[in-house]
Amino acid sequence: MTSEVKKLIENIYEAIGETPLLRLKRIVKHYDVEGDIYAKLEYLNPGYSKKDRPALQMIEEAERSGELKPGQTVVELTSGNTGTGLALVCGAKGHPFVAVMSEGNSPERARMMRALGAEVVLVPQSEGAVEGQVSGRDLELVERRTGALVMEREAFRADQFRLDSSYRAHLENTAVEMWEQSDGRIDCFVDLVGSGGTFEGCAEKLKSYRSDIRCYVAEPAAAAVYAGCPLSNGGRHRIQGCGYAMDLPKIKRKHIDGCVQVTDEDACRTTRDLARLEGCFVGISSGANVWAAIQLLRGKERGGTIALTLNDSGLKYLSSDLFP
């Protein structure tokens, strides 16, 4: 496959997408597994995460339909990544943006959104919560504050959990790029689910290319609801931006061929290994994705080729103990 270098662009959001696909051969060798892991380097988007894609898709589809008016305020809840994408897209398109985020998320995310011109509203965590471990109960509090702000500001809600545009970004772009970059050499796809848009968009598109491609949901071990496991530790875990212990509106269960659980410890260790061995300085959810792939290559997908995304940058976690 040959690719063309993008010409001069006029807006930062034109830099979103067309990220490289990297074969993680050093990780595969280090963990002594048989097969290949193809990682989409989504942390190289301008907002340093895969969430730039749905941010752009949601805003542009809403502008085309007339649901989002020129200069209208945009509001959305976020763990930081969708908010960062919306901040840079809305800034370039002239929409004020309000990000609503739990105080349990890393502070780098709030600082970055503010630097990009966003107003950031931080919501205290639920009683008994642990900083750095955002649960479904914490997300409920953020959702309530978000709804109130939408009404107060007469804003457009860029609802990543419910808008079809949030998963179409991956259906029409991420999965297509993966398929073309790999020359169709994909046996399965695995994704740690947050809003569910990446999993659903990629699973639907990849299965349309070849119906026997298997698609796996990865989940924090403490909040593995799709695997049917009871919550442990109150559903709290360290893997930010995912594992909210809830059914996700965008995910169709017919696309789920299996589930993989990931502990905090395995996700952290694999994240550090990605930096040390592959030069991929990414966040904890990326490590969780790769650990899930390693488990699959040790089991039912031995010898296969697994595609996944490296979701966001390790720069967003420097205040945590992810990188001692």
CATH class given for the domain over 52-157: alpha beta
The string of pLDDT tens digits covering residues 28-55 is 999 999 999 999 999 999 999 999 999 9
The string of pLDDT tens digits covering residues 263-283 is 999 999 999 999 999 999 999
Q: Where are the domains of the chain?
A: 12-49+163-317, 52-157
Q: What was the pLDDT predicted at 1?
A: 47
User: Choosing from 50, 51, 93, 207, which is the catalytic residue?
Assistant: 51
**52-157 shares the fold of 12-49+163-317:** yes
User: Choosing from 126, 135, 285, 313, which is the catalytic residue?
Assistant: 285
Average pLDDT across the chain, whole number: 94
Residue scoring higher pLDDT (232 or 114): 114
- The full DSSP string for 193-228 is -SSSHHHHHHHHHHHHH-TT-EEEEEEEGGG-TTTT
Q: Is 51 a known active-site residue? A: yes
Q: Is a pLDDT exceeding 90 seen at residue 286?
A: yes
Q: Is a pLDDT exceeding 70 seen at residue 90?
A: yes
Q: How far apart are the C-alpha atoms of 107 and 306, rounded to whole Å?
A: 33
Q: What was the pLDDT predicted at 322?
A: 93
Q: What was the pLDDT predicted at 192?
A: 97
Terminus-to-terminus CA distance in the chain, angstroms?
Answer: 40
Between 114-128, 132-146, 173-187, 248-262, the lowest mean confidence (pLDDT) is in 132-146
Q: What was the pLDDT predicted at 105?
A: 84
In the structure, what pLDDT confidence band is assigned to residue 174 with cuts at 50, 70 and 90? very high
12-49+163-317: in CATH 3.40.50.1100 = yes
**CA angle, corner 71, sides to 65 and 75, nearest 5?**
80
Place of tokens 């989409």: 40
Q: What was the pLDDT predicted at 113?
A: 96
CB 316 within 8 A of CB 80: yes
Average pLDDT over residues 65-90: 96
